[in-house]
Amino acid sequence: MQKPLPVLREHIPLAPRTTMGLGGPARYWAECASLDEMRACLTWAAGAGLPVQVLGGGSNVLFADAGYSGLVLKVGLRGVVFNGATVEVAAGEDWDGLVQCCVERGLAGVECLSGIPGSVGATPIQNVGAYGQEVKDTIVAVRVLDRQTLAEVAFAPAECDFAYRQSRFKGADRDRFIVTAVTYRLDAGGQPQIRYPELRRHLSGEHPTLATVRDAVLALRRRKSMVIDPQDPNSRSVGSFFLNPVIDAEAFAALKGRYPRIPHFPAAAGVKVPAAWLVEQAGFHKGLQRGAVGISQRHALALVNRGGTTRQVLALAAEIRDAVEQTFGIRLEREPVLVEESGR
Ligand SMILES: Cc1cc2nc3c(=O)[nH]c(=O)nc-3n(C[C@H](O)[C@H](O)[C@H](O)COP(=O)(O)OP(=O)(O)OC[C@H]3O[C@@H](n4cnc5c(N)ncnc54)[C@H](O)[C@@H]3O)c2cc1C
C-alpha cells in the first residue's frame, strides 16, 4: 500500500459523526478542506483498492454496526459568496446557517427549509424539501468533482434530474460525484411562501415576514423533534425514515373507498399519501419501543436510537414496511442512505 496522506486518520468512530449515533468505526477517515486534498484521497484509495464513502453532516446516513472498511471522506470545503440575490456556497457549509443568513438579508426562497440538519453539499442529493419548498426551485448550478476523472464540472438544474427527494446524484449517478459547491438564486425582497395549511394556521393573524416564517417553521419542527437537539432524545434520528409514497389515481380511489378519511396531497405523478399516516394505521404508534430502538414520541416516521444498533433499526424498519404493505398494498421506500461495511 502507498504511504498514507497527512490528512488520513485511522479507526475513527462513525457513530458520533451521525445524528442517529449508530455505526462502527471507519478504517480510514479524511476531512478534506480543498479539492486537491479530495483528489489526493481518491487517488490514494484507488491505489489501495479501497471503497470511498462521502459524508456531510451525517443526518441522512446509516452506517453498519461493523463500521466501514474503506475511506470515509468528510467534505470540509468552506466559503459563502453572495452576489446580489445569488449565492455560491461551498459544500461543507452548514445548511441551516445559510438559510438564516438568507432570511436576514431579505432573500426569499429557502425560509421554509429552516432547521433541516446537514451540509449544503447534500441538499441537491435528495432535493431537500419541507413545508412546500424544495431546493430544486432555487438551485441554479451544482459543481461537482467527478470521482472517475477527478475533474470539476458544473451541472445546470435541468441536468440534475431533480424529483421528490431524488436526483441523479442519488439515482443513476449515485457515488459518482462529490458535490463541491451549490449556487442558489433567491428572490430579493420576495414574499415568504406559505403553502402548508399547518404553517398557515401557525401564522394566522400575523403579517408573515421571512423571519416570522423561519421562526414558525422552527417552532413546528421542534414540536416534532425534527430539529437536532442534544437534550431531545426524540431527535436522535435521520428525520423521516420513509418517503411519502406517490400512487396512481386508480390505486388511490380504491384506497379511499376503504379509508374515506385518508389524508392525501396532489403530486406530479399521482397522489401523495403521508407515510406517517400509513405507519400509524398499520399499528406502529409514536413512542413504540423495540429493544433499544423505537419510534419517536413526536413523529411516527422518525425511528430513533435509544442505545441500540443499526441492525435493530433495520429490523424495526422492515417490520413496519411489511405491515404497511400487508395492510395497504403499498411498499414504503427508505429515505436515508444505508452504507454497508465494505461499501455497497
Ligand atoms: C431531525 C432531522 C430532520 C430532517 N428533516 C428533513 C426535511 O425536512 N427534509 C429533508 O429533505 N431532509 C430532512 N432530513 C434529512 C437530512 O437532514 C437531509 O437529507 C440532509 O440534506 C443531509 O445532509 P448531510 O450533510 O447530513 O448528509 P449525509 O447524511 O452526510 O449524507 C447523505 C447522503 O448524501 C451524500 N453526500 C453528502 N454530502 C455530499 C457531497 N458533498 N457530495 C456528494 N454526496 C454527498 C452522502 O454520501 C450520503 O449518501 C432530516 C434529518 C434529521 C436528522
Segments making up each domain of the chain, as ranges: 8-75, 80-223, 233-339
Pocket (CB within 6 angstroms of ligand 1): 19, 54-61, 75, 91, 116-119, 121-123, 125-126, 128-130, 178-179, 226, 228, 235, 237-239, 337
Class in CATH terms, 233-339: alpha beta
How many angstroms separate the alpha carbon of residue 260 from the centre of ligand 1?
A: 35
Q: Which residues have a Cβ under 8 Å from the Cβ of 61 and sit 6 or more positions away?
A: 18, 55, 238, 336, 337, 338, 339
Beta strands in 35-159 (DSSP E): 52-55, 61-63, 68-75, 80-83, 86-90, 107-108, 129-130, 133-134, 139-146, 152-155
Q: Is the pTM of this model over 0.75?
A: yes
**pLDDT under 70 in the chain at which residues?**
1-3, 344
Residue 329, Ramachandran bin (φ over 0: left; ψ between -120 and 50: alpha; else beta): left
pLDDT of residue 55: 98
What tens digit of pLDDT does each residue of 246-293 get? 999 999 999 999 999 999 988 888 999 999 999 999 999 999 999 999
Nearest of 309, 312, 280, 286 to residue 299 by alpha carbon: 286
Q: Pocket of ligand 1, candidates 17, 22, 59: which has the most ligand atoms within 8 Å of its Cβ, to mutate?
A: 59
Q: Judge contact between 69 and 160, C-beta under 8 A.
A: no
Residue 176 sits at φ, ψ, to 5 deg, of: -90, -35
Catalytic annotation, pick one of 165, 168, 214, 321: 165
pLDDT of residue 329: 94
pLDDT of residue 188: 97
Name the closest-CA residue to atom 47, ligand 1.
54
User: Alpha-carbon dihedral of residues 191, 193, 197, 201, nearest 10 degrees?
Assistant: -40
CATH of domain 80-223: 3.30.465.10
- The verdict on whether 165 is a catalytic residue reads yes
How far CA 78 is from CA of 75, 179, 228, 272, in Å, comes to 9, 12, 22, 37
Catalytic annotation, pick one of 31, 88, 319, 335: 335
How far CA 35 is from CA of 6, 31, 80, in Å, comes to 15, 11, 16
Place of cell 487517488: 43
How many angstroms separate the alpha carbon of residue 136 from the centre of ligand 1?
A: 15
pLDDT of residue 3: 59
- The verdict on whether 335 is a catalytic residue reads yes
Whole-angstrom distance, CA of residue 125 vs CA of residue 186:
19
pLDDT of residue 344: 58
Output the nine-digit C-alpha cell for 28: 480510514
Class in CATH terms, 8-75: alpha beta
How many angstroms separate the alpha carbon of residue 27 from the centre of ligand 1?
A: 22
- The verdict on whether 206 is a catalytic residue reads no
Atom of ligand 1 lying closest to residue 131 CA: 8
How many angstroms separate the alpha carbon of residue 55 from the centre of ligand 1?
A: 9
Domains 8-75 and 80-223 are alike in CATH topology: no
Other C-beta atoms closer than 10 Å to the C-beta of 303 total 30
How many angstroms separate the alpha carbon of residue 187 from the centre of ligand 1?
A: 24
| CA-atom Rg of the chain in angstroms | 20
